[in-house]
Each structure stands twice: as structure tokens, then as C-alpha cells.
Amino acid sequence: MGLQIFAGKGFDTQKAERFFKERRIAYQRVDVLKYGIGKRELESVAAAVGIDALCDRESKAFRESVIAYTQSRDTILSGLMEKPQLLRLPIVRCGKKATAGYCPEIWDGWIRDGISDTDSTKTGPSAPF
């Protein structure tokens, strides 16, 4: 099972990457500030962690945005897609499980439940690049 880190700039992102590197767990890093996040991907993460956990409510950008004053789930999701700086990063995803922010206790639980280096790499013949 592959691990994805939706990251931006910041110390929590660096700490999350270091956490998995120290344990030799392969992951895919996606720079959401550069490439954004897809609608289905965001909905999947929101289903796992909740819509409130996805929003970085402490940031100035969030307080100045429209989504700070709305209760509509669709409006919040579309606002997060348009402005990924409003997301609480890093978002770490493993299958249907996900976290928003730096959560090493939860990631340790995932590792104990079976994430390993062999799970996150392909086996068999190598794919042409």
C-alpha cells in the first residue's frame, strides 16, 4: 500500500518526511501549493479526517477567506481546492486512512498495522520509464 504526503512549505512537512525516511518507508510527495489537489482526493481525505480538520484555522489566509464564514461543505471543499494554502499540511494518506497535520502517534499505529517498505514498492518486473 502506498503512502502519499501532500505537502507544502513548513516545519511540519519536514518533520513528517523525516519521520518516514527514518523508518525507511517509501512515500510519494505531492506539492499541493504547486500542483493543487484533486476534488476526489480532497473528498476522500475529508471523509477520513473531517472537513474541519482539513482547514488551517490559525492562518491569516483562512481568517480572510470566505470559507471561514460558511457552513456549506461544498463551498468549503471548493475553497480549499482553489486556495491550497488554506489546507492544514501535511496531509498524509495511506489508502482510505488519512491525517491532517503532524500526527506521529497515528502513523506509528499504521506502521504497526502493516505499512512497510515492501508494501509501498512494486514487486515483479520493473516498469519502463
Q: Do the Cβ atoms of 16 and 92 come closer than 8 Å?
A: yes
What does each of the 129 residues of the chain score in pLDDT, given as a tens digit? 589 999 988 899 999 999 999 999 999 999 999 998 989 999 999 999 999 899 888 888 888 887 878 888 888 888 888 888 889 999 999 989 999 999 999 999 999 988 743 343 333 333 333
Q: Report the length, in residues, of the chain.
A: 129
- Virtual torsion, Cα 76, 81, 83, 85, nearest 10 deg: 90
- Kindly report the pTM of this predicted structure: 0.80
Residues 91, 44: Cα–Cα separation, whole Å: 12
**CB atoms closer than 10 angstroms to residue 94:** 23
CB 28 within 8 A of CB 5: yes
- What confidence score (pLDDT) does residue 121 get? 33
pLDDT of residue 97: 93
- Measured in whole angstroms, the distance separating CA 106 from the mean position of its chain's CA atoms is 13
